[in-house]
Structure 1
């Protein structure tokens, strides 16, 4: 289960101060993204193994895609399904950590702030 349903339930249940919930949820998601980035950094050294889950052609396609669209795709890291692969690919592409943190933090914090605003205004 994603963090969004828990976040919304806590907001609606009045558990905690909304701005603090935004901060904690954002930090948790950012830390998860940093773990993905680190895994991506370590991933390529296993690419020649039989058990490696990504075929070499798919890895090359992903690299070309990242080279084309670049680090700005990390602003989509908040999105379900595609967010995690984007953060892993940033690690594979050796994106600098400070740039990664800046873009991912912006994306994930804006997501939770927007979600809190919508939830509290429409509840």
Structure 2
């Protein structure tokens, strides 16, 4: 995977690429790939603080679309699993408890899709459980938007010299 991912990220890291790079990195990082979008967002806002809201918007759209991809991957995996193991329905107590929690909260659980480590799999599990698609997308977008605003604003507040140095 590194053979194609590293050159892609190096190309997208060029300052001349700008917001499209933020979009692609945000999209890829919201799938099950092990990467984060925050450095790209922070770098873009640090290079040009006037692009704060456009960067937040682009990162939110990209990250939400990545969550949508994960949702559909979960949905497809569930269908394959059901076909392959339709006679064997043994689930562990942990799995049953997690599924009950997600079903109880429903699409609102996707507000937590911004969390590191658990957010991306949460989107996939929402698809697996066939939670309503559009409400899941809405809650994913809200959670991801709030995360980008808070993280980026905190960066600019705690390190005001970064944007002045650019």
TM-score (norm: length of structure 1): 0.83
Aligned-partner SS, 1:107: helix
1:86 shift after superposition: 0.8
Question: Paired residues, what number?
Answer: 119
1:13 shift after superposition: 2.1
In the alignment, which residue of structure 1 is the partner of 2:121?
Answer: 85
In the alignment, which residue of structure 2 is the partner of 1:65?
Answer: 101
Instruction: List runs of 5+ in structure 1 lacking aligned partners.
Output: none
Query: What RMSD over aligned residues (CA atoms) do the two structures have, in Å?
Result: 2.3
Matched, 1:17 2:54: no
In the alignment, which residue of structure 2 is the partner of 1:29?
Answer: 63
User: Using the alignment, how far apart are the partners of 2:102 and 2:51 within structure 1?
Assistant: 38
Which has the larger displacement, 71-80 or 29-38?
A: 71-80
Of structures 1 and 2, the one scoring higher in RCO (CA 8 A, sep 6+) is 1
Instruction: List runs of 5+ in structure 2 lacking aligned partners.
Output: 1-34, 160-166
1:16 shift after superposition: 6.1
Query: Which structure would you say has the larger Rg?
Result: 2
Residues 106 and 131 of structure 2 are in contact (CA less than 8 Å); yes or no, is this contact kept in structure 1? no
